[in-house]
Each structure stands twice: as C-alpha cells, then as structure tokens.
Amino acid sequence: MAMEIELTAPNGRRWMQPLGLFINNEFVASSNGQTITSVNPTTEEDICSVYAATTDDVDKAVAAAKKAFRDPSWRQLSGTERGALMYTLADLVAEHAETLATIEALDNGKPYSVALKENVPEVINVLRYYAGYADKNFGQTIDVGPAKFAYTIKEPIGVCGQIIPWNYPLDMAAWKLGPALCCGNTVVLKLAEQTPLSMLYVAKLIKQAGFPPGVINILNGYGREAGAALVQHPDVDKIAFTGSTATGKEVMKMAAATMKNITLETGGKSPLLVFPDADLELATTWAHWGIMSNQGQICTATSRILVHESIYDAFLERFKAKVREVSVLGDPFDENTFQGPQVTRAQYERVLSYIESGKQEGATIALGGEPAPQKGKGFFVAPTVFTNVKPHMKIFREEIFGPCVAIVAFQTEEEAIQMANDTTYGLGAAVFTKDLVRAHRVAKEIEAGMVWINSSNDSDFRVPFGGVKQSGIGRELGEAGLAPYCNIKAVHINMAA
C-alpha cells in the first residue's frame, strides 16, 4: 500500500492524504501491514485505509520519542526556540485551514463550516497560546534564611503518551500537544481509530515546521492494541487520555503498574438549570446549542435540562421550536447543515438503543426518537427530546453521546441542586437566572469542573477545562494545563559550605 493517496471531497478540494504511522518525522507502514478503513458517515462509503500500529510499532514510536527527549536538538532548545517552532506550526495549520476542515467534515461528519470556523482556529489558538508560554513557565526562589538558598526548576516529564477520541480530532490533539511541547516533552499521540485523517495531515505540517525527528510521533491504531501498549510501556512517563469513563478507568489501572503520571478527561451527564426568572429565549438558545451541537457528541453536553415547574411547559415548547428551526440535518458540506451524521455505525446504533431504552422505561418522546437518513444514507439520528423522565432511568443517568436530551421539572432550588448533583459525573453545569446572587450560590453548590452562568459549553483556550468525580483528573487549557506536563525539581544550596 502507498504511503499517501490523492483524495477529493464533495466540495472539490483535493489533497494528498498520508496513510502511514508518523514516527521520527517519516510515514511508515505498520509492522505486519495491518490497516483500518475510515468510513464517511454521511455516505457510508469507505474513504481510505490507514496503517494501524501494532505493539511493535508503539515500541518504535516510544523509542523515537525517548531518543528525541535526550537529543540536544530538542533538549537544548530554549523555551523561546520551542515556542518559535510551535508558532510556525500554528501558521502552517492556518495556511491549510480549508483542507483540514474538509478532511474533518469527510471523516468525522461534522459540518464543514463548523470545522473551519471553530475547530481549525482552536488548533491555531491553542498552539499560539502555549507557544507564548514556552519561555514564561519557570520556577521560584524560596527564602530559607541567609545561610541557604533554595530554588525550583520546572522540567519536562519525558515521553508523553496521549490518547484522543473521535469527536474533536483536531482540538483534542492540540489541547494535548500544546502544553506538552511548551514544557519540552516529547510525544506519542494515539489517534482515535474512527477519525485518523486530519491529524495525519497535520503530521506533514509538523515535519515542515522543523520539529526534530521523534519529538512528535503520531499513530493510528486500535485502543485495545496500540492504546493499551502505549499506556503500559515502561518508557512512557505520562499518559493523557480523553475518552469514555469506562476506558479511562482501564487506562488508570494499566498506568498503575509503572506508576505513570496521568491526566484523564472522561464522560459527563451535565445538568442545565433554568430558574423562573431566566431569560427564556437565551436559555433555549444555549440549551439547544449545549446538547445538539457536534451531533450531541460532546463530553460536556448539557444533556439533562432541569426547568422550574412554573415555566416548564413554556420552555419545552420553545425548545422544540428551536430544534425545528436550527437543527437542520444534512450533508456536512451543505452550508445550511447544523447537524451531520453520528461518527460511526456503532455510535449511531448505540444512540438508537438509548432511545429504545428510554421508551421501554416509560419516558415520553416529545420530539424525534428515530433514525433520520438523508437521501436514504448516513448515520443520522433525529434530534430527540425526552419528557416524563425519572431519575432512575438510563437516559437520565448514562452518557448517550448523541442529540438526545431529557427535560425534567423541579420545584425548589434545593431540589434542582440535588438533582444536578445526583450523578457519578461532574464535568460541566449551566445555570440560567438573572439573579446574580442565586447564580453564584448555585455555581458554588454544583459538583462540576466548569459552570456556565447564562450560557452552555462555552470553552476558551485561556480557561481551565476538566472534571470532578468520575469526569476526570487534572485540567487542560489555560495556565492550569501546564502543571500536568512538568515536574518541579527543588534545588537546595548550602551557602555556608
């Protein structure tokens, strides 16, 4: 099989798509020639096959990253020089924005306009943000009296294994690469086997930007094979994982054998609370965005909407109208499309099985609740609203990861907080009220890593992102995102020696 193939998308854009494993700045075949086929979720047709890493390939990538970590071409760069490489990569991503957005729409099924206006800019912003930090992230001097001197150095951790999911292939890669490179680490990035194409294209740009060989290695491969090999590898010093809570727990167990430093960003079942004094139009707009954008495939999706009983009916009617107005299903390359297909047949079937379980457990389908193929094809699911939902139901407790929302009534603020916190997850939470005192009070009481007052799923590269409870460990983005990628070394000097 060739190492690249020419692809053409429905929007007419043509590019050379790399198909190999990116190790030591070269694209190579997998050791036994195994591949994974990427499928276009809109047409259900194969796009191309991409080499999939074996355990041996993971060994090679880790060896490359280990060697690069010690090599003066990377190790002796100043933070300013590392930052310059990252700025160059960000500029190259900007130059190739249309191609990257096209690949994302084709491989993941997200609307092209969203990939172009949100996902590609996020990569550029995150790289530039952490490029700027690369020469501003240093230690402290500590007063320990006149006879002694103590200071700290922030050192890179070493080889970082990074495992990303399929819902935001570009953004998730940038969130991980940005802080890791900023601090001087080297990386083996394992892509999600469902959506490898955009980041393999970025790999070409990484070489072009001038990063020394082995600093960034990028592997496509199955989670249980390549992912597990990376997590268990004795020469990997840190694992950063984004994905499901179940897999996150497995990663944590495997990482324990070599006591690896870990950060986990896992699932959620985030609540959105609407109080009686809320601006209903504002609440409806954000509530819709918070669950229906990205085909509902968002870990922070506000998938449980809790509405005060006095405005419940009015909110429900407005929400349904908003879905009908905004959630236009269709081809991701059609500029009117808001919602594309679910990423794979497996996800599509999983979402439909949750809809079935909702029906069986006695919830009412107030809208949607069925497959919605476009021109007879594609993994499309109609945006779905459940009412008459009880807290014990699976659709209230488990992460569906699709365009499905439960809308439930509450009577008092106390009850709303109790329902919001009645979950093993703790990623995001949204609160709609005009009363700032209430907003602050509720924000404090909610068990979540992020709270949005009068918005939902507002994310910014300058602001920490992450969860509590079973939604994760550690933070990405912002200054807080640097801490998981450096060790602090303390140096004690005895001045009286």
340 binds ligand ADP (CB under 6 A): no
* Nearer of residues 120 and 172 to ligand ADP, judged by Cβ: 172
- How many residues bind to ligand ADP according to rule CB under 6 A? 16
* Nearer of residues 190 and 233 to ligand ADP, judged by Cβ: 190
- The least distance separating ligand ADP from the CB of residue 193, rounded to whole angstroms, comes to 5
* Nearer of residues 333 and 401 to ligand ADP, judged by Cβ: 401
- 3-state SS, the chain, equals CCCEEEEECCCCCEEEEECCEEECCEEECCCCCCEEEEECCCCCCEEEEEECCCHHHHHHHHHHHHHHHHCHHHHCCCHHHHHHHHHHHHHHHHHCHHHHHHHHHHHHCCCHHHHHHHHHHHHHHHHHHHHHHCCCCCCCEECCCCCEEEEEEEEECCEEEEECCCCCHHHHHHHHHHHHHHCCCEEEEECCCCCCHHHHHHHHHHHHHCCCCCCEEEECCCHHHHHHHHHHCCCCCEEEEECCHHHHHHHHHHHHCCCCEEEEECCCCCEEEECCCCCHHHHHHHHHHHHHHHHHCCCCCCCEEEEEHHHHHHHHHHHHHHHHHHCCECCCCCCCCCECCCCCHHHHHHHHHHHHHHHHCCCEEEECCCECCECCECCCECCEEEECCCCCCHHHHCCCCCCEEEEEEECCHHHHHHHHHCCCCCCEEEEECCCHHHHHHHHHHCCCCEEEECCCCCCCCCCCECCCHHHEECCECCHHHHHHHEEEEEEEEECCC
* Nearer of residues 156 and 196 to ligand ADP, judged by Cβ: 196
The pair of three-digit structure tokens given for residue 456, joined into one six-digit string: 């939902």
* Nearer of residues 137 and 342 to ligand ADP, judged by Cβ: 342
Catalytic residue at 118?
A: no
* Nearer of residues 254 and 389 to ligand ADP, judged by Cβ: 254
Per-residue x/- mask for ligand ADP, residues 14 to 33, rule CB under 6 A? --------------------
Task: Point out which span in 15-23, 162-170, 324-332, 465-473 binds ligand ADP (CB under 6 A).
Answer: 162-170
Per-residue x/- mask for ligand ADP, residues 95 to 134, rule CB under 6 A? ----------------------------------------
- The least distance separating ligand ADP from the CB of residue 138, rounded to whole angstroms, comes to 33
Per-residue x/- mask for ligand ADP, residues 182 to 221, rule CB under 6 A? --------x-xx----------------------------
- Catalytic pick from 193, 265, 399, 476? 265
165 binds ligand ADP (CB under 6 A): yes
| Residue among 50, 163, 172, 448 that touches ligand ADP (CB under 6 A) | 163
* Nearer of residues 56 and 95 to ligand ADP, judged by Cβ: 56
Task: Point out which span in 38-46, 157-165, 171-179, 430-438 binds ligand ADP (CB under 6 A).
Answer: 157-165
- The least distance separating ligand ADP from the CB of residue 345, rounded to whole angstroms, comes to 13
Residue nearest to ligand ADP (CB): 223
Other Cβ atoms within 10 Å of 416 Cβ, number: 24
- The least distance separating ligand ADP from the CB of residue 222, rounded to whole angstroms, comes to 6
Per-residue x/- mask for ligand ADP, residues 223 to 262, rule CB under 6 A? xx--xx--x-----------xx--x--xx-----------
Q: Which residues are catalytic?
A: 265
Contacting residues toward ligand ADP, per CB under 6 A = 163-165, 190, 192-193, 223-224, 227-228, 231, 243-244, 247, 250-251
